Homo-oligomer: A and B are copies of this chain.
């Protein structure tokens, strides 16, 4: 951030009066430009004993498998965002259940949320951000080709909790950028 989005003047990086950390502050109109973490909201879509995954058609992690998820938009709820992303990436109609996992990724200022959901039908397919969409049994999950740690961890929790028969909220912090392979 170099310029004030309110008046177009140059911004400074300094601690505003009464604050305790550096912010972008306009040198002219004094507007403080806060930046805050963003939410990525998504879904763990289940059909019988299978999980739906999408093969990414975009960077980062082109060609790797992921759960449908994306940046939460203004004006929607976390659940609406999860349903929207499931539609956009997998053309999947889903009945959403409880919030299931929450991951903090403070090194990139992101909070991931995944809801459990049930596929309403087998009528699904790749949206523009996906190369393929498919259903996987536990033994067929492409563990070595998953896009992100949050996807791996959500799947691991799910297969564990499915054996236990209940799905408590799972929260976890991922503090560093993962080395490859995950």
Contacts and interface: CB of A to CB of B under 8 A. Distances in A.
A163 interface: no
Interface residues of A, number: 41
A79 B172 CA distance: 10
Q: What are the 6 tightest A-B residue pairs by CB atom distance, in nearest-first order? A: A77-B104, A3-B8, A169-B169, A1-B5, A74-B109, A36-B38
B71 A34 contact: yes
Interface in A114-144: none
21 contacts: A2-B6, A3-B4, A5-B5, A5-B11, A5-B33, A8-B8, A21-B73, A35-B74, A36-B72, A37-B39, A39-B111, A72-B111, A75-B106, A75-B109, A76-B106, A77-B104, A77-B173, A79-B104, A98-B169, A99-B171, A168-B168
Interface in A87-121: 98-99, 102, 104, 106-107, 109, 111
